[in-house]
Chain A
Amino acid sequence: MLPPRFELHRPSTIEGALELMARFGDDATFYAGGTELLVAMKARVLRYAHLIDLKKIGSLAEIHLNGSGGILIGALSTHHQISCNPYVITHFPGYAALSENVANIRVRIAGTLGGNLCFAEPHADPATLLCALNARAHLVSLKGRRIINISDFILGEFSTAREDGEILTHIELPPLPHGARAVYRSFGQQERPTAGVAVVRTPHATGPEWKIWAGAVSSRPLELSLVTEAVKGVADTHVIDQIRVQSEVHAETLEIHDDAHGGADYKRHLISVLARRAAEDCLS
């Protein structure tokens, strides 16, 4: 089906894109891979007279090393580009693997990380692991630049802290501490994940620290901080089972809803299973 008519603008600079947005206001939206936007426009759920294509702004699709082991991912990088990027594969293999498992090959080739985060469809993968990795969103508008944590960026279903005139330019992954492992596991019967769990294990002098986030089960990714507390000081030989049990206990307290992907009980169960599997991968 054809979307309603619009004009397509293709600025080559960030300033150009911001000025177009300031000029057209509510009649305009940014356009990246279009994998969410065009479907919503075809279905007449969204309607804009002006699409501002960000893909001609080359710098927004670059992936750079940032300090020792950190990386800066341009928001226009596609899931496919991220999954093949040598820096991501070397420093965040768990995130490269996640990107390789988003959707299908065509959506990975067109869809961008920035579009995924800005659309904030809860049944998504990247935000969950990005929260666990303390990733940060870099935003720019005519008023200036700001940086916020991804955990503060995603506010809820289709809702983010991004203001209308702001462009998400980069996602910054701070370096993982030496010896730390980050793993993401997801499960779904439909196109998008029913549940996804990110686990980060960081060695410390006092014993390893485990951080666990669950996503797709609620309107935004949630941290299972009680699990972190409960498994403090537990030896690796016993920790896996503890993580499974404690994830189940914490998941009971979370606001999780029934939806087309499954009942809340089922999703709580998935969280504990996926947490166990991801924790096992961290130790393997």
Chain B
Amino acid sequence: MMNPNINEKDKRRIRDIVQDFARKHSLWVLAYGTGCGAIEIPPTMTSRYDAERFGIRGSATPRQADVLLITGYLATKTLKRVIRTYEQMQAPKYVIGFGSCTINGGMYWDSYNTINALDRYLPVDVYINGCMPRPESVIQGFIKLQSLIAEGKADGADKYQENLEWYRENQKKIIHNWKMPDYNW
């Protein structure tokens, strides 16, 4: 007989806790090496800093990935590819903005060719500050993301879906020849 004190809502929460625990300890990263900051990813992943300790692992394709890591400035041309990649990922999915360039444009803030604030185009869950951030701070950023997941607050994918029109409007200001499949969530 089931414990009558556990009502429908709490049961769901138990399932969520198990799921969030697994999600938190298994982050497959699609590192989109757009900017110079990408050079800090290899030391983060390999023997010196060993991100695999936290269950962080590189993934081969967007379909398998959980985290989209935008490492640095985004040229207006790459933005389209990044959006396409993000939309191919399977929910729940997270975005980490890496380096000052994703926050406010960094040292490319007045360039004709890069976007300034990443979160106008994609729902960013965690920003990692620095130009470029060291592997310690990258791992710190991942741990922040893990704690957000454990609390159930890393809901960027839901926000993206809810505010899709706002995001599309911003994206289309940058990308003029918009020929992409519909977002099918």
Q: Real complex partners, A and B?
A: no
**B binding-site residues for A, Cβ under 8 Å:** none
Task: Name A's B-contacting residues (CB within 8 A).
Answer: none
